[in-house]
């Protein structure tokens, strides 16, 4: 595996993509054209030597706290949500392998016929060999989300950054889709995010990244080339870390 070229800020990263991103312009489910675009963005940097972990949400199919769950008990609904993340992970694996990127799916819920069980040291070995590792089923427990799963795996894998790929190019003072005067933050501290309850990631995920000293980088995955640019410190994004540079 070649060393990550120095123009990249990070050698090993975890990319969290929410389920909503994968549904593209559809209202529900998996849009394979969008999955292919994300796979292309991942492949581009993986080929240049950046080690990549992926966590895909499940909100495009099922969310424990959604209306679709009706009055089902929360834990059962959450397990369904975790299964949705496994479907997304398999779709992403198929898209990556189609373009020649070796990929392994590790699931926090044991499902031997479709994915490896999560084994930390094995996942580390895959990364060292240049394989993209997709972590499915979040933390494997209800009452959590894939944001927490992403933070946990980023810490366990010793990632240099957690990148959150959304449909907006960073964290704004207000919702830019609703408020045209909203401006983007270049950087924030973990404390800013938690104290002001900014909707970036779950508080538990932000707290874990703070305690592990891993920066969170929020960027738009829907723009072509943006993942690579963000990893090089170029383009628009928001970094959340301990101390502001300015």
Which residues would be at the binding site for ligand UDP (CB under 6 A)? 18-20, 57-59, 63-65, 77-78, 81-82, 84-85, 138-139, 141-142, 144-149
What whole-number distance in Å separates Cα of residue 147 and Cα of residue 56? 9
Closer Cβ to ligand UDP, 10 or 62, answer by number: 62
Contact at 8 Å (CB) between 132 and 100? Answer: no
Closer Cβ to ligand UDP, 4 or 86, answer by number: 86
Q: Of 81, 67, 87, 94, give the one whose Cα is nearest residue 148.
A: 81
Q: Of 10, 92, 15, 14, give the one whose Cα is nearest residue 49.
A: 10
Contact at 8 Å (CB) between 13 and 159? Answer: yes
What tokens does 139 get?
A: 């933390």
Residue nearest to ligand UDP (CB): 57
Q: Of 226, 236, 232, give the one whose Cα is nearest residue 17.
A: 226
Closer Cβ to ligand UDP, 9 or 153, answer by number: 153
Closer Cβ to ligand UDP, 2 or 67, answer by number: 67
Residue 219 burial class via C-beta count within 10 angstroms: exposed 0-12, middle 13-18, buried 19 and up: buried
Q: In the complex, what is the shortest distance from the CB of residue 215 to ligand UDP, in angstroms, rounded to a whole number?
A: 19
Q: CB neighbours (10 Å) of residue 230? A: 30
- For the residues of 201-212, what is the DSSP string, one character each? S-HHHHHHHHHH
Q: In the complex, what is the shortest distance from the CB of residue 233 to ligand UDP, in angstroms, rounded to a whole number?
A: 25
Q: In the complex, what is the shortest distance from the CB of residue 180 to ligand UDP, in angstroms, rounded to a whole number?
A: 26
Q: In the complex, what is the shortest distance from the CB of residue 197 to ligand UDP, in angstroms, rounded to a whole number?
A: 17
Closer Cβ to ligand UDP, 1 or 75, answer by number: 75
Q: Name beta bridge partners: 62.
A: none
Q: Name beta bridge partners: 14.
A: 53, 162
Closer Cβ to ligand UDP, 93 or 148, answer by number: 148
Q: In the complex, what is the shortest distance from the CB of residue 60 to ligand UDP, in angstroms, rounded to a whole number?
A: 6
Q: Name beta bridge partners: 159.
A: none
Q: In the complex, what is the shortest distance from the CB of residue 129 to ligand UDP, in angstroms, rounded to a whole number?
A: 26
């Amino acid at each position: 595996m070649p060393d990550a070229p120095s123009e990249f800020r990070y050698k090993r990263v975890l990319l969290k993509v929410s389920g909503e991103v994968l549904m593209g312009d559809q209202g529900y489910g998996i849009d394979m054209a969008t999955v292919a675009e994300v796979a292309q963005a991942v492949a581009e940097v993986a080929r240049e030597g950046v080690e990549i972990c992926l966590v895909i949400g499940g909100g495009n199919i099922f969310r424990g706290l959604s209306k679709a769950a009706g009055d089902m008990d929360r834990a059962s609904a959450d397990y369904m949500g975790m299964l949705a993340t496994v479907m997304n992970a398999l779709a992403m694996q198929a898209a990556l392998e189609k373009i020649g990127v070796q990929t392994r799916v590790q699931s926090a819920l044991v499902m031997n016929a479709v994915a490896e069980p999560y084994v930390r040291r094995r996942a580390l070995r895959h990364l060292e060999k240049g394989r993209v590792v997709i972590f499915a089923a979040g933390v494997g427990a209800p009452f959590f989300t894939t944001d927490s799963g992403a933070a946990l795996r980023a810490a366990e894998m010793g990632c240099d950054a957690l990148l959150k790929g959304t449909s907006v190019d960073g964290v704004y003072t207000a919702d830019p889709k609703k408020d045209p005067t909203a401006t983007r933050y270049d950087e924030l501290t973990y404390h800013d995010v938690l104290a002001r309850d900014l909707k970036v990631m779950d508080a538990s995920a932000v707290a874990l990244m703070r305690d592990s000293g891993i920066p969170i980088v929020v960027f738009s995955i829907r723009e072509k080339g943006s993942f690579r640019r963000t990893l090089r410190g170029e383009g628009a994004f928001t970094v959340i870390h301990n101390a502001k540079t300015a």
